[in-house]
Amino acid sequence: MNTVMDFSELTNAIQHLTRPEFLYVGGAILILAIILVLLIRRQPKNIVAYTTDNGSVMVSRHAIIELVQTSCEQLEDVSKPLVKIKVKGQITHFEVRIVLLSGGRLREIEQTLQTHLREALTENLGIESLGRINIVATGFKSGRIDSNIHSKSNSLFAGMNEASDEVNALDLDSATEDQSKSNS
């Protein structure tokens, strides 16, 4: 008994898979898998802030986003904050994506923003079980370039070109001296 499938048997088996009923089943499985992934990755609409004997107190996702945006507006070097919220068990983790403006220092902004957000989320919204607050810089917008700096750099390059011309002239002089010595 030959356990190895030869090429003709393999192509025959593949051809059976291209029949419409198999394609429909495969397409349905693919669509269900995509829907399942989207449901799992979906961000929660409400976050449990804390629980009492009478029930749970929840905070809307919109309220959290508004708090983060107003916090970022207070920092002049930050724009376009986007918030992702992940709840794992009882702990809520946040990812805040920001664009740095010209002059912004990421280390200082990160420390200020994390401290302020922890305070605001616990004191204002009452969220007790905060996890990590990750700050992600997604871009950098540079400010306007000063034309004085541009003209200074041009004068610097001009000075470098003059020095280079002098060196080249010295090289030519020594080359002509060497050539005249070899000719004599």
pLDDT digits (tens, 9 = 90+) for 42-75: 777 888 888 889 998 888 888 888 888 888 888 8
How many structural domains does the chain have? 1
Domain membership flag for residue 60: yes
Mean pLDDT, all residues of the chain: 78
Domain membership flag for residue 16: no
Domain membership flag for residue 113: yes
Tell me, what's the pLDDT at 76?
A: 82
Give the structural domain span for 84: 46-141
List the CATH number of the domain containing 108: 3.30.70.1350
Domain membership flag for residue 112: yes
Domain membership flag for residue 62: yes
Instruction: Give the SS3 label for residue 160.
Output: helix
Domain membership flag for residue 15: no
Q: Which of 84-93, 114-123, 141-150 has the lowest mean pLDDT?
A: 141-150
Half-sphere exposure of 18 (CA within 13 A, CB side): 5
How far is it, in rounded angstroms, from Cα 181 to Cα 57? 97
Tell me, what's the pLDDT at 1?
A: 46
Domain membership flag for residue 26: no
16 against 138, higher pLDDT: 138
Tell me, what's the pLDDT at 30?
A: 93
Retrieve residue 117's tokens: 């957000």
